[in-house]
Chain A
Amino acid sequence: DVVMTQTPVSLSVSLGGQVSISCRSSQSLVHNNGNTYLSWYLQKPGQSPQLLIYKVSNRFSGISDRFSGSGSGTDFTLKISRVEPDDLGVYYCGQGTQYPPTFGGGTKLELK
């Protein structure tokens, strides 16, 4: 299975600040079809996960442009700018390139 490693495990941020979360995969996430199926999810307290970013850098419907994804191969980054209270929660990366799909361990974003 592809192992997804997220860092840091937790992150403190001031409102209006900017943060980056790293996600590394144990194998390249480039699919045979040329796409890279790396997604980012946010799980707010008491809620189910919601999709933020798919295929590395594409924002899902309704997601603010304060969220941006980048990376390639095995190294990926989620950046959140101008952090708002509603951004707090646990962020997960996930890969869908190889079966079985796997997820990172999560990064908890908290207020400083």
Chain B
Amino acid sequence: EVQLVESGGGLVQPGASLKLSCVASGFTFSDYWMSWVRQTPGKTMEWIGDIKYDGSYTNYAPSLKNRFTISRDNAKSTLYLQMSNVRSEDTATYYCTRRVGLDYWGQGVMVTVSS
């Protein structure tokens, strides 16, 4: 059974940094591109970016490219999202997904940016 489990969320102050993790199981992690998607409190879905199966290539939403970094550790079957200089508009639930059709999603992790 494919499972994606995110962690690392919480309350963070504006301007701070935060790193989210997503541990994958039930499939060969190193065979798949992976993505991050977020959902705002108003339920708008926004694609953040994705990363190639070997970690050699990434794509980002243009509006987030300078502040968010996606990486992975295939030995640990783990996907990461490094968020820097966070803003109130980054408040959302963050999901990791398999990139192919966004076919499997984690349970999500909430990030709240507030002073």
Contacts and interface: CB of A to CB of B under 8 A. Distances in A.
A92 B45 contact: yes
A102 B44 CA distance: 10
Given A48-B108, A100-B61, A100-B62, A60 B103 contact: yes
Chain A interface size, under 10 / 10 to 19 / 20 to 34 / 35 or more: 20 to 34
A94 B102 contact: yes
Given A48-B107, A48-B108, A102-B47, A96 B61 contact: no
A39 B61 contact: no
A48 B106 contact: yes
A35 to B, nearest CB: 11
A106 interface: yes
A51 B103 contact: yes
A103 B103 contact: no
A103 B101 contact: no
A109 interface: no
Contacts of B59: 99-100
A90 B39 CA distance: 13
B101 A96 contact: yes
Interface string A25-56: 00000000000010101000001111100110
Interface string B83-115: 000000000000100000111111110000000
4 tightest Cβ-Cβ pairs between the two chains A and B: A103-B45, A54-B101, A48-B105, A101-B47
Given A48-B108, A103-B45, A103-B46, 15 more contacts: A39-B101, A48-B95, A48-B105, A48-B107, A49-B102, A51-B103, A51-B104, A60-B103, A90-B43, A94-B45, A94-B102, A99-B59, A101-B35, A103-B44, A106-B43
